[in-house]
Amino acid sequence: MLSKQAKMSASPERLNAKLRDAERELLIPEGLPNRPWFHHAIYAPGQYTGYAAVVIPGVTEAIDRGDLSRIEQQISALAAALNRAAQVLEQ
């Protein structure tokens, strides 16, 4: 692993910029269902947990509700966000 790190040609500033840009791509433009002010596809405060974080909140909360159409929609939004972030990192 150390040899891979030694071979990296990108500067720390460039790597940080890539990570920042990839993180931004994990945002869902329309926000989470019932909470459009939260946009992150990977984590957000839970709808019923106060400030406790929920991982993959759109999908998790749709599963908890048993709402199949919302599950499908949130999986699609999550996949799109992950694909956008991957594209940034692959450039």
Position 50 scores a pLDDT of: 81
Instruction: Give 7's pLDDT tier (boundaries 50, 70, 90).
Output: low
Long-range contacts of 26-31 (CB under 8 A, 24+ apart): 26/81, 26/82, 26/84, 26/85, 27/81, 28/58, 28/77, 28/78, 28/81, 30/77
Q: For 34-87, write each residue's pLDDT tens digit.
A: 999 999 999 999 888 888 999 999 999 999 999 999 999 999 999 999 999 999
CA distance 82 to 91: 14
Q: CATH top-level class for 12-90?
A: mainly alpha
Instruction: Give 9's pLDDT tier (boundaries 50, 70, 90).
Output: low
* CA 77 to chain centroid: 9
Instruction: Give 8's pLDDT tier (boundaries 50, 70, 90).
Output: low
